[in-house]
Structure 1
Amino acid sequence: MKMRAVISGYYGKGNGGDEALLMSLLEMLPSQVEPIVLSGNPRKTYEQYGVQTYHNRSGLAILEALTTSDIFIWGGGSLMQDVTSLASPIYYAGLMALAQQKGLKTVAWAQGIGPLNNPLTRWLTRQVLLGCTAVSVRDYKSAELLSKWHINPLVAPDPVWALTPKSVLGLADLPAPRVAVNLRSHPLLTPQRLKILTQALIDFQKATNTCILLVPFQASQDEKIAHSIAKQLPGSHKIIQLENPRQLKGFFKGVEMTIGMRLHSLIMAASQECKCSALSYDPKVSYLMEEIEIPGWDLAQLPSDPNVISTAWLEYFVNGETLLKDRIQSLTDRALMHQEILTKLILE
């Protein structure tokens, strides 16, 4: 029997990590389920994935989608956190509550819950999660929080570990060795810290003669920084922008090391046997650093001396190790556990 599922997430905003989550979800969705994606750019989402779309801010369209559907899915990521704004968790909780009110099966899928510092957002999150048919989370800290609320979620690695990669034409033509860099705008990445990191990259490139590939994951937040760094680099470099999530993941197969802020830049790189050094701006990045032993710094404790940073990068570039293939396979296999709760929906 064919079923319809409304999928809600941070889609259509040009964020490579969230688009990769959507692509992962669509790969895992049973063939009996027809996806309807709520997007900030419905036309672009339709063109990219070939799925039915509605604008995520059109109340009438959303009501129509919910009225004609069987399932509602939060499609991965850190939707329920109030560090960025209060509006985001209230919006996503409101959609979930509306779907539950209309009698849809509701799924919180591959979520990273928190930080939730406001009592209102904590209460809203708890209420809608208690009403879910199924819940899966991508890290143990989210699971710990939910256990305090007497919710027992499936815990599995981020679904992007299991996303099918696609090779990037022309990457092999760029000078080797290649090092990818992903930085994003954030209050913790102050002008002074960016200056320190840029100088460290300059020193690192001089010492290694590497080709620096600057990889914006979301143009609105990453591109300006990439251009700022690029114009100061003394050696070969290129800004790489890829919209296809499979290509974005496959890109890291041709890279020796990645210096990344964004969670999915590190997941994609590690999954493609690339060395990783992290710059954490968020607990979700710190959790990943701890889980798979990625070296790096919390941005709040970034060394003030560029030489300390460049020396650490150089040491890791020369002597660091990638994740073992068996570990990558294990993470990939476990990430596919998120598919199980989707399959159960059509069986119940």
Structure 2
Amino acid sequence: MGASLHPDAQVQPEVKRVVISGYYGFHNSGDEAVLKSMLFALEEEGRQQGVRIVPVVLSIDPAWTTRMYGVEAVHRMRLTEVIRAIRSSDGLISGGGSLLQDATGALTIPYYTGVLKLAQLLRKPTFIYAQGIGPVNRRWMDPLIRGVMRRSAYVSVRDAESAALLGRIGVPAERIDVVPDPVMGMPLPAGAVQGDASRDSADSAVPVVGVSLRHWRKDEADLARAVEALGALARSRAVRLRFLPFHTPSDVETSQWVMERLGDLGPGSSAEMAAPGDDPQLMLQAVSECDLLFGMRLHALIYAANQSVPMIGLSYDPKIDQFLKRVGLEAIGTTEQLDAAAFVAEACRLIDRREEWLAEHKAAIGQLKTEAKRPAKQIASLLRHNNRGDKRT
């Protein structure tokens, strides 16, 4: 009892263990960036509110996740480990990313809602962190989503379309907070220099065009159109096409497929593959060094916005259009159509008039960065005020 009355005891931050559920440990740069951004935001907001948030990540590769982020991790598919982690926690965060959708299969939604339901059965508060909801094509999934959302202490989604979908499922609109993707708040690596200042001066005269493509159509017609567009750009002016693989090894294979088909490039043009590794901040650094980014991957576009790099989006999913809309942009094309001449014209405009683009979109980007902090702020506050002693359950 004497220790609890020590005069320094009250200034010590409360410790709150929080399990984080998501698509982690799969070496997908976008999802890993979400996790790293969440960890940064939770640490920062917790510090400001006098709470030390200790994360426990559910990962398919716990050892790798621990090495990468310096946090405790348990295997996401080992039920006893998951139960033990949740039981000893002060709450569970689900997110971010596109977790509650059935486009990738019928087991995705049951898994993530199952983890949430398990935490709720163990009487732990649950928090939904900037998720992208949908598509949900199987109506029997609706009750699974509705049930866990209604019982969550805080619900945030990354776009208005996700909020509207939850509303149609039966989640009260007033309980849904619409916020940006967490990655809008991710900083560059410690000591890194943003943009052109980090580039070799000998190469700075040739614009760097970052390229983030993924395999989507089985007939690869979308990639063939991208080859045509990128080749036309590289023959119209000198550019360095720098391919950025966000999901290894699949994006590496896709990038190689495109590079092999570019053909002869114009004088001064080149194509190369970046190798930033698995650390999301190193990929963010690689994007910051681009003069323009052409992206299919959602998080490639978010990285570009984060670093105020002009971007051209190619849409394969509504989430691409939804994000671009928040920045005040539209996709140049889709997996069904891409006009090479229009692409070249837009790419040249953005390269030559970068400052105009920055001035036009600076306010929207700044607002997204500020709003990206809100879920961590809300969760830290709720954890700080939740002293029910749930660990005894």
- TM-score scaled by length of structure 2: 0.83
Q: Deviations over 1:48-97 (max 9, x none)?
A: 10000111111111111112112111121110001111111111011111
Instruction: For 1:194-213, list aligned pairs within 5 A.
Output: 194-213=223-242
Paired residue for 1:164?
Answer: 187
The separation in 1 between residues aligned to 2:257 and 2:79, in whole angstroms, is 40
1:130 partnered with 2:150: yes
CA 1:171 to 1:198, structure 2 compared with 1: closer, same or farther past 3 Å?
farther
Paired residue for 1:185?
Answer: 215
The separation in 2 between residues aligned to 1:295 and 1:95, in whole angstroms, is 36
Q: Deviations over 1:220-277 (max 9, x none)?
A: 3311111112234433222113221122222222111000011110011022121100
| Amino acid aligned to 2:116 | M
Query: How far is 1:325 from its partner?
Result: 3.3
Paired residue for 1:252?
Answer: 287
The separation in 2 between residues aligned to 1:196 and 1:147, in whole angstroms, is 37
Paired residue for 1:101?
Answer: 121
The separation in 2 between residues aligned to 1:241 and 1:312, in whole angstroms, is 27
For the 8 Å contact 2:328–2:364, the answer to whether it is kept is: no
| Amino acid aligned to 2:36 | M
The separation in 1 between residues aligned to 2:252 and 2:198, in whole angstroms, is 19
CA 1:307 to 1:298, structure 2 compared with 1: closer, same or farther past 3 Å?
closer
Instruction: For 1:81-120, list aligned pairs within 5 A.
Output: 81-120=101-140
Query: How far is 1:214 from its partner?
Result: 0.1
| Amino acid aligned to 2:72 | Q
For the 8 Å contact 1:165–1:246, the answer to whether it is kept is: yes
Paired residue for 2:272?
Answer: 238
For the 8 Å contact 1:286–1:298, the answer to whether it is kept is: no
How many percent of aligned residue pairs carry the same amino acid? 31
Paired residue for 1:317?
Answer: 351
Count how many residue pairs are aligned between Structure 1 and Structure 2: 346
The separation in 1 between residues aligned to 2:34 and 2:100, in whole angstroms, is 15
- Displacement over 4 Å in runs of 4+: 168-171
The separation in 1 between residues aligned to 2:351 and 2:143, in whole angstroms, is 45
For the 8 Å contact 2:239–2:270, the answer to whether it is kept is: yes
Paired residue for 2:81?
Answer: 61
Query: How far is 1:160 from its partner?
Result: 0.9
Larger deviation, residues 264-273 vs 162-171: 162-171
Query: How far is 1:126 from its partner?
Result: 1.1
1:25 partnered with 2:38: yes
The separation in 2 between residues aligned to 1:318 and 1:295, in whole angstroms, is 19
The separation in 2 between residues aligned to 1:296 and 1:325, in whole angstroms, is 19
| Amino acid aligned to 1:27 | F
CA RMSD of aligned residues (A): 2.1
1:74 partnered with 2:94: yes
Query: How far is 1:291 from its partner?
Result: 1.9
CA 1:74 to 1:298, structure 2 compared with 1: closer, same or farther past 3 Å?
farther
Larger deviation, residues 171-180 vs 53-62: 171-180
Paired residue for 2:63?
Answer: 43
The separation in 1 between residues aligned to 2:111 and 2:296, in whole angstroms, is 26
For the 8 Å contact 2:327–2:361, the answer to whether it is kept is: no
CA 1:120 to 1:85, structure 2 compared with 1: closer, same or farther past 3 Å?
same
CA 1:142 to 1:51, structure 2 compared with 1: closer, same or farther past 3 Å?
same
The separation in 2 between residues aligned to 1:68 and 1:131, in whole angstroms, is 20
Larger deviation, residues 85-94 vs 309-318: 309-318
Which of structures 1 and 2 has the bigger CA Rg?
A: 2
Q: Deviations over 1:282-330 (max 9, x none)?
A: 1111111222122434424413x53443344334433462354333222
| Amino acid aligned to 1:241 | A
Instruction: Extract unaligned runs of 5+ from structure 1.
Output: none
The separation in 1 between residues aligned to 2:342 and 2:365, in whole angstroms, is 30
| Amino acid aligned to 2:35 | L
SS of equivalent to 1:241 = coil
SS of equivalent to 1:103 = coil
CA 1:50 to 1:344, structure 2 compared with 1: closer, same or farther past 3 Å?
same
1:267 partnered with 2:299: no
SS of equivalent to 1:302 = coil
For the 8 Å contact 2:328–2:361, the answer to whether it is kept is: no
Instruction: Extract unaligned runs of 5+ from structure 2.
Output: 1-13, 386-393
Query: How far is 1:10 from its partner?
Result: 0.6
The separation in 2 between residues aligned to 1:250 and 1:281, in whole angstroms, is 25
- TM-score scaled by length of structure 1: 0.93
